[in-house]
Amino acid sequence: MTRKGFEGPLERVNDYCWRIPRSYRSDMRVDGLIYASDELIHQMRNDQAPDQVANVATLPGIQLASLAMPDIHWGYGFTIGGVCATDPLEGGVISPGGVGYDINCGVRLLRSNLFYQDVKPHMERLVDSLFKNVPAGTGRKGKYRYSESELRQLMGEGVPFLKGRGLATDEDVEFTEARGCLAGAEPDNVSDRAIERGRSQCGTLGSGNHFLEVQVVEAVVDEEAAEAMGLAKDMICVMIHSGSRGLGYQVCDDALRLLRGVPERYGIELPDRQLACAPVDSPEGTHYVGAMRAAANYAWCNRQLLMWQAREVFKKVFSESWQSLNMGLVYDVAHNIAKFEEHRVDSVDKKVWVHRKGATRAFPPGHAEIPERYQAIGQPVLIPGDMGRASWVLTGQQGSMEQTFGTTCHGAGRLMSRTRAVKEAKGRRIDQELAARGVIAKAQSWRGLAEEQPDAYKDVNQVVDVVHRAGISKKVARMRPIGVVKG
């Protein structure tokens, strides 16, 4: 089915922000605000994602505005790239659609002491070895297997669980958002079906837009911040994008099933049933929050094990330990999550539930929740682009706290549906096209590369420019992909 474009009003607030006024619809409780350039807002008018921004503005307890980042595109209930905060003291709700199916899908970045000229002669072998040794693809099982009791313990403790088993270091924990563990996780709220799906998938990449990329630091924009992160021009890094795999998907599916009929029970009227929700403090709301937190902890463990396997591959290819290669974790950020955070709303400090659905936390310098190493520069923000152009490293800025509940974009954002991307790729060799750009790409299928071809995405440089100029995050370094592993 083809969706028509957005037909409502989009009022310019400034060069990088547009408003859907509350007056657009009688059920909207707040305005919608979309961060975009002139070119990006033109693209968004051809999609119904702005309608989803307006839909989210109807949720009980929503604060300030329904927000959308410049990478927005149509999603389940919430637009991907959508942000909203709800106050439980004002009847605020929790909505699985505001988190997404892939709970705590996120990104992590490793640095190294290798430079492009060191790695260039070994790239074919390196990418082949990563492809063979890091499990990728739909339903692919990994080498780390856990019993049900072990998996529930893992979901309760997060990355510290792996540290206790020699699969993570103190620094790995320190440089993961929330130190790799959301307190208040309730593993017993996770269904047996979800447990079964997750037992053999921790440490696997998955499919779709998930990837493991070998990247080179192409340009440094902020020398001070890059130095604090240990980044330098021409340095080799590894970026990993994955989430909670089948376990997280099942947790979301279970929650949506549990929430059937629940909004009506609490007198909540919704413009779209995909916004299914419950008051945060209700039995249904607290059950989902406990399960969501458990799945988020699983996702952090998944990315930790993916990184651990990548380190082992580098060790084998370059005949040096990963420690001597200085393959330390720069940072790990979630971008499909809901977190209970303190923010200032209309001059009042409040504890609110911030839903970030395809959106990344971007806390500023001095924030108590970021590691000491980054206190002076702000939280590292990792924005993957497409596999043919670039990704970006940024830092959070004070403007994010003032405008977006400490949030920025999470990627380039899709421009084409997967179906259209496959149609556009018919008769083409995407791997050869990428090779012509200097990128070695390995995937489990032709379709996997076709769906994720560079043309399927917005230009990440344009997207990042918006959040940089809007003052919610600041450019640090541009990363160019040179080796890609996909499902």
For 265, other C-beta atoms within 10 Å of its C-beta total 11
- Using CA atoms, how far residue 154 sits from 135, 186, 202, in Å, is 20, 11, 10
Q: What is the arithmetic mean of pLDDT over 164-181?
A: 98
Q: What is the arithmetic mean of pLDDT over 389-406?
A: 98
Is pLDDT at 1 greater than 50 in this prediction? Answer: no
Closest residue by Cα to residue 106 from 437, 376, 329 = 329
CB–CB of 295/77 below 8 Å? no
CA neighbours closer than 13 Å in the CB half-sphere of residue 429: 8
Quick one: pLDDT band at residue 46, thresholds 50, 70, 90?
Answer: confident
Q: What is the arithmetic mean of pLDDT over 446-462?
A: 93
Selected residue with higher pLDDT from 2 and 17: 17
Q: Quote the DSSP letter at residue 414.
A: B
Q: What's the pLDDT at 2?
A: 53
468 assigned to active site = no
Catalytic residue among 335, 355, 367, 410: 410
Q: What is the arithmetic mean of pLDDT over 239-268?
A: 97
Every domain of the chain and the residues it spans: 11-486
CB–CB of 121/318 below 8 Å? no
Q: 155 in helix, strand or coil?
A: helix
From edge to edge, which strands make up the β-sheet containing 336-345? 11-14, 17-20, 31-35, 65-73, 80-86, 348-357, 336-345
The residue behind tokens 């549906």 is: 417
Q: What is the arithmetic mean of pLDDT over 341-366?
A: 97
Length of the chain: 487
Q: By percentage, how much of the chain surpasses pLDDT 70?
A: 99
Mean pLDDT of the chain: 96
Strand partners, 408: 360
Q: 399 in helix, strand or coil?
A: helix
For domain 11-486, which architecture applies?
Answer: Alpha-Beta Complex (3.90)
